[in-house]
Amino acid sequence: MLNRSAEEEHLGASFFRDHAQKRKGINAVNYRILGRTGLRVSEIGFGALEIGRNWPNWRSALPDFARPSREEAIRLVHAVIDAGVNFIDTAPAYVDSESILGEALQGRRKNVILGTKCGEWFDGKVSRYDYSYDETFRFVEQSLKLLRTDWLDLLQIHSGSVEVVEQGETMRAMKKLREQGKVRFLGISVDREEAALAAIRSGDYDTVQLSYNAARREIEQTAFAEARGRNVGVIVKDSLFTGRLSARKNDINDSAVRAKIDSIAERAGAFSMPLSEYALRFVLGNPVVASAIVGTRSLEHFRSNLRSCEDTELTQRVRASEGDVPAV
């Protein structure tokens, strides 16, 4: 169990000091407070999906789809932490991700804030779901074993719906796990805006993880506004629109989506920066966002993404170039 008297050590006070300034050859990383948790998380988080499972499925026929070997994945995790990133997000549905992280984090656990999920797993073809009270305990026990840790900093309901939030069975189990010292903070990862709003308004959730990017901004005046008002920590997934806001934009077949991406890419070009950097700066320019999760198979790509942490004034200019979402 986590020794609560060792809180400062767990949060890695010396680690933050060591990475407070930019080191030679490595981009600087900034930190933000994750809502009412008080956790100080890197504004770029490492999403561990792609080291454990082939993703995204719509790119399965392309030559760069294969995930890294276990050894390559471990080296990537080590390099990400060495670069100053301290927030790592994983899930049982990411197949081998938890097991790889469990090995990679040996001797480094105290330097990371580790979040995983419950309620969803992947059977090799499709996702399966079970949000029951007993199954929530089984999810967590298995995650603790694979991650080789005695505690989880953040446990999130995976793909949570309004129904899951309202039924409350999963949350009841999560609160019990928190009482047992196996979990510190409770959150939810959602696919739909109404689920985010239900979770935020319930008062039970410390954090909410949801999709947000320059191409999909509708939640700014709804879920984001509610989260800010209630001090719920906001974690953003899909900052790059499943890779579409990057060099992969050429893979897009939908003409309407392609037109929107091309328009954003044109504005990125005006700043003479890669589309992926522009997209990440847009997300980080929103003060409601505590951490934007970025998944990758490549250290080179991850380091290039860390450029988005530099020059906050430039980030605000990027943000301004996208304008405001009309009031609802």
Euclidean distance between CA atoms 306 and 294, whole angstroms = 10
Euclidean distance between CA atoms 81 and 268, whole angstroms = 28
Residue 289 sits in a domain whose CATH number is 3.20.20.100
Q: What pLDDT is attached to residue 113?
A: 98
Calculate the alpha carbon distances from 119 to 16, 31, 233 in Å: 33, 29, 21
Asked if the structure places residue 78 within a domain, the reply is yes
Asked if the structure places residue 176 within a domain, the reply is yes
Helix, strand, coil share of the chain (percent; to 5): 45, 20, 35
> Which is nearest to 264 in space by CA: 284, 294, 241, 238?
241
| Structure-token pair, residue 87 | 């927030």
Q: What pLDDT is attached to residue 247?
A: 78
Asked if the structure places residue 154 within a domain, the reply is yes
Q: What pLDDT is attached to residue 9?
A: 37
Mean pLDDT in each 10-residue stretch from start to end of the chain (328 residues)?
39 37 56 98 96 70 74 96 97 97 97 98 93 98 98 98 98 98 98 98 98 96 97 97 80 85 96 96 98 91 91 96 76
Domain count, the chain: 1
For the whole model, what pTM was predicted? 0.90
Q: 207 pairs with which residues across the strands? A: 187, 233
Q: What pLDDT is attached to residue 64?
A: 62
Q: What pLDDT is attached to residue 223?
A: 98
Between β-strands 120-122 and 127-129, what pairing exists: parallel, antiparallel or unpaired? Answer: antiparallel
Asked if the structure places residue 9 within a domain, the reply is no
- Residue 168's domain comprises 27-320
Q: What pLDDT is attached to residue 91?
A: 98
Q: What pLDDT is attached to residue 242?
A: 85
Asked if the structure places residue 327 within a domain, the reply is no
Asked if the structure places residue 189 within a domain, the reply is yes
- Determine contact, residues 235/290, Cβ cutoff 8 Å: yes
Residues sharing a CB contact under 8 Å with residue 112, sequence separation 6 or more, in sequence order: 12, 81, 86, 87, 88, 105
Q: What pLDDT is attached to residue 21?
A: 39
Q: What pLDDT is attached to residue 55?
A: 66
| Structure-token pair, residue 220 | 């700014």
- Determine contact, residues 80/26, Cβ cutoff 8 Å: no
Q: What pLDDT is attached to residue 156?
A: 98
Q: What pLDDT is attached to residue 327?
A: 57
